[in-house]
Structures are given as C-alpha cells and as structure tokens.
Amino acid sequence: MTGHHSNSEIAVRVRRLEERLIGAGLTSDDQLDGIIGQILSGSPANGARVVARAWVDPAFRERLLVDANRALDELGLSMSTGPQPQRLTVVANSATTHNVLVCTLCSCYPIGLLGPSPSWYKSEAYRSRVVREPRAVLAEFGLVLPEATEIVVHDTSAESRHMVLPMRPGGTAGLGEAELAALVTREGLIGTAAV
C-alpha cells in the first residue's frame, strides 16, 4: 500500500505537531478548528455551491452523481491538483441511506471543495472508529439517525476523493442557490451532520 496516500507522511507529521501543541496546553482541537473556520469564512465554499446547485437543478444533480468531475467543470471548479486530476465521487444521502467519509490511512480529503480538513478528521480515533461503529460516532457529533437508516462509510484515497450530497432541508422551497449554499456545513459535506 505504500504510495497509496501520497501525502500520508505529511499528514501524520502535521497531526503529530497538532497533538504536541494540544498536549503542551498551547491549543486545543476546537481552537485549531476555529482558526480554520476563520480562514474559510472569507473564501467561497465550493462544496456548498455544488450542493445548492444540485438541490435546485435535478439534471445537474444527476450529472453530479454520474460524473462529479465533469459536473464540477460546469461551475468552473476542478479536482486538479497537479498533472493528474483526482477522481471525485459524490454520494447522495436519502431518507434510507446516510453517507459518511473517512480516510483510514491518513487524511485524504477534497480540500478544494471543503476547505482544510478539521483536526478530528485526521485523528486516529475518528479514522478507526467511524468504520467500526459509525452510528455511535455520528451520535457523538449530535447526529442521531433512525435505526432503519443504513450508514455507508466511504474511504477516500490520494487518487479518489468523495463528497456527501446532503438531503435538502424541508421548508427551503423558496430559497435561491446562495441562500441554500449558506445552509451547507463542512460537516454536512463529510457526513457527520445532516446539512
């Protein structure tokens, strides 16, 4: 599996540094996530734009689920980070299925769509537990799903990334794309929140 996650050495080193800073009492996971949130607040939320378009345009939604890379082109977005574009798969939540993302080996993640990954996404605890007990992990995030809901865990890699298409919230029929995009959270795009 060597080389499967090309950034794994960097991701491990970054997480070790984060854990040292936290262990020394200099910061916390919440503070690190807050800093990332501040950085992201001034930049476009590309993943949210994609979701909002899928919610208002059923034909775009279908194209997104069939070939996400091609659908991104329609919005002027791309998964290219070098000579070889990463493959993006968008997985849609439904009334009977909920999707959640993880990278079990490191922290592969579609940064161009979701922004920098939260510190918990890189933690060994999340990476190992969400695969074994996804329902319990989601409950810890405050997302309690009905027992009948199937939870599907998607493992990302350096070559292939995933994004969750949350279900459109009720009561949003009159909202435009920009208003809908404002409802979408990074956690919703990972699958640890409903939206």
Whether 147 is covered by a domain: the verdict is yes
Percent of the chain with pLDDT over 70: 87
10 vs 152 pLDDT, higher one: 152
Catalytic residue among 8, 108, 117, 119: 108
Mean per-residue pLDDT over the chain, rounded: 87
Task: Report the pLDDT value the prediction gives residue 30, as an integer from 0 to 100.
Answer: 84
First-residue to last-residue Cα distance in the chain: 34
Task: Report the pLDDT value the prediction gives residue 59, as an integer from 0 to 100.
Answer: 98
pLDDT at 161 over 50: yes
Whole-angstrom Cα distance, residue 183 to residue 188?
Answer: 10
Rounded average pLDDT over 71-89: 82
Catalytic residue among 6, 78, 80, 107: 107
43 among known catalytic residues: no
78 among known catalytic residues: no
In tens, the pLDDT along 84-125 reads 678 999 999 999 999 999 998 887 888 888 887 888 999 999
Catalytic residue among 106, 117, 119, 157: 106
Beta strands at 97-102 and 87-92: parallel, antiparallel or unpaired: unpaired
Whether 65 is covered by a domain: the verdict is yes
Whether 92 is covered by a domain: the verdict is yes
CA-to-CA separations, 46 to 30, 110, 178, in angstroms, rounded: 23, 10, 11
Provide the number of structural domains found in the chain. Answer: 1
In tens, the pLDDT along 13-62 reads 778 888 888 899 988 888 877 766 655 543 447 999 999 999 999 999 99
Instruction: Name the β-bridge partners of 90.
Output: 163
Whether 109 is covered by a domain: the verdict is yes
Task: Report the pLDDT value the prediction gives residue 93, as an integer from 0 to 100.
Answer: 98
CATH number of the domain to which 142 belongs:
3.90.330.10
pLDDT at 144 over 50: yes
Task: Report the pLDDT value the prediction gives residue 56, as an integer from 0 to 100.
Answer: 98
Q: Are 47 and 165 in contact (CB under 8 A)?
A: no
6 among known catalytic residues: no
pLDDT at 183 over 90: yes
Whether 21 is covered by a domain: the verdict is yes
Whether 1 is covered by a domain: the verdict is no
Whether 17 is covered by a domain: the verdict is yes
Which structural domain range is residue 40 located in? 8-190
Whether 195 is covered by a domain: the verdict is no
Catalytic residue among 28, 80, 103, 128: 103
pTM: 0.78
94 among known catalytic residues: no
